Structure 1
């Protein structure tokens, strides 16, 4: 790797996966420790004025954007301002910006897979904030890659997967939507994709733009949950005995979560040669890592 790489959010689950997989491929990141109050416009300005990397992966707010249970409007507003400043700094210093985003920029009203050409119509606060961040990055910094991920799940102790498993340990019955579909995407697979993109950008290929990635084999929330529980039972005793189907419209998060969230990954395959991996193959290692740290 000829480029000097910076990773904001190296302590996040996705950041740790990127560092771990990068080390195996002899790819190193400068991963600065965030200020106690988190990255903001002023601290980002000082950081990039002093370091000036060639490319930057922005996972500074990964948990809020991808794993937090409830979105915080004030935090999102501050993060939007910080990312806008980050894009300005990347423009000023000629830095490539790899910015993650999400299927949540779509409203889930169509049953077919979303491509990069489809117009975003976010439902909830999180999707709306991510869409504004995308627009900001796109308008300010020409050297950007916006990478929209499917259903990201990781081994963090306060993430989506952890909350589900903790419920399964104490409740005998769970309900999941059988008519809500998406691309489950293990955190290691998402990290693999980011590294593959960086490798090609390192070859000075001007492949800027927006790309989709999600694990192979779209699944319903019910099917995904059943697969997770099947693997989890090899690690611990679960209280849950029944997993019942429930309509998407009856779910408490139906107003914010897209019902149909399947992403088409043709563009990233045709542009970068990145093939989707089956999400089921990533479950054993992920859950093994999760239970080792519970």
Structure 2
């Protein structure tokens, strides 16, 4: 099985390469090999490589930066996924695409289901929602997997930032009124491999949009507390953590207050087991880089 993965150095792509490498011939295209903002290059690569499965693990994920470069964000997050879906449909192969909790406005009091009304608050969320819509319009076999608060031992993410700042500062002020589920990139990759196996073995669930996060919930402050606890268990001294409101930490892009996603549809339809976010964090921190 030939699997085309867009993105080489991103958190999810790196974990996908690790999890899927023994089961498929991976055709991994980083930015050096494929500029997703170049639509014709995207078409040309897919037509030349003719994969059996496409996984779009690349995206413009700089949430605040997207506010100042919306054209680039839409080219990568909206136009490119639509082109990938068109080419996958023409080849009659599936497309797996990753989306985000930022397609919602965060005003709901309970976890979001897949069919809830969307309402992104900024360019990043709007561009990712447009990408979802472009994929659905094509009508081919696809999985859109919405996730949240992704972290790993690579790249730029909350985990690595907190590990550094907790050991550099005496006090660390962290937002406590945004709630969601931290999701290890390894969880996303392993779940993706399970979905591929179900499809490959002729026992897939329904194609469509699903939520995929760690189970349970916490705030950014609670996530920071869990990271600090792991450092302290290793005998390291950590900064004093202070909870603050979002209004005390203004950013160019507004974040949803509620990023909780209900993952029960994926668990039931595709018979997937997801780990609690704390268990996944522990495994991540004990895994090799």
Same fold (TM over 0.5): yes
Secondary structure of the residue aligned to 1:98 is: strand
Instruction: State whether residues 162 and 227 of structure 2, in contact with CA within 8 Å, keep that contact through their aligned partners in structure 1.
Output: no
Alignment partner of 2:94 out of 87, 96, 100? 96
Q: Which moved more, 1:51-60 or 1:75-84?
A: 75-84
Report how many aligned residue pairs link the two structures.
Answer: 284
CA distance in 2, matches of 1:279, 1:175: 22
- C-alpha separation between the residues in 2 aligned to 1:45 and 1:267? 32
* Cα-Cα RMSD: 2.4
Q: Is the 8 A contact 1:68 1:159 kept in 2?
A: no
Contact 2:215–2:276 under 8 Å retained in 1: yes
2:26 is matched with 29
Q: Structure 1 residue 60 and structure 2 residue 58: aligned?
A: yes
2:186 is equivalent to residue 188 of structure 1:
yes
Query: Alpha-carbon deviations, 1:165-192, whole Å to 9, x = none?
Result: 3322322211223232101111111111
Q: What residue number does 2:246 align with? A: 248
- The question of whether the paired residues in 1 share the 8 Å contact of 2:103 and 2:126 is answered with yes
Find the partner of 2:65 among 70, 73, 81: 70
For structure 2, the residue ranges without an aligned partner over 5 or more in a row are none
State the match for 1:5 in structure 2.
3
- TM-score when normalising by structure 1: 0.87
Maintained 8 Å contact 1:8/1:32:
yes
Q: CA separation in 2, counterparts of 1:145 and 1:191?
A: 14
Instruction: Please give the alpha-carbon distance, in whole angstroms, between the structure 2 residues aligned to 1:74 and 1:238.
Output: 44
- Seen in structure 2, the aligned counterparts of structure 1 residues 42 and 99 have a Cα distance that, compared at 3 Å, is same
Q: Does structure 1 residue 174 correspond to structure 2 residue 169?
A: no
Q: Quickly say closer, same or farther: Cα 1:36–1:269, change in 2 above 3 A.
A: closer
Deviates more, 1:194-203 or 1:102-111: 194-203
Whether the 8 Å contact between 2:63 and 2:124 is mirrored in structure 1 is no
Q: Distance in 2 between matches of 1:108 and 1:174?
A: 25
Q: Do the aligned partners of 1:6 and 1:55 also contact (CA within 8 Å) in 2? A: yes
**What is the deviation of 1:152?**
1.0
In structure 2, relative to structure 1, the CA distance for the partners of 1:78 and 1:132 (3 Å cut) is same
Find the aligned partners of 1:272 and 1:251 in 2 and give their Cα distance.
Answer: 39
For 1:218 and 1:203, locate their aligned partners in 2 and report how far apart those are by CA, in whole Å.
33
1:49 and 2:47 aligned: yes
Listed one character per residue, the Cα deviations across residues 64-97 of structure 1 (whole Å, up to 9, x for unaligned) are: 32x6663342321321222222222112222211
8 Å CA contact 2:150–2:185 kept in 1: the answer is yes
Deviation per CA, 1:31-54: give whole Å up to 9, x if none: 245436733312222211111112
What corresponds to 1:210 in structure 2? 209
Q: Within 2, Cα distance between the matches of 1:255 and 1:6?
A: 32
Is 1:17 paired with 2:15? yes
Deviation, 1:248, is 3.2
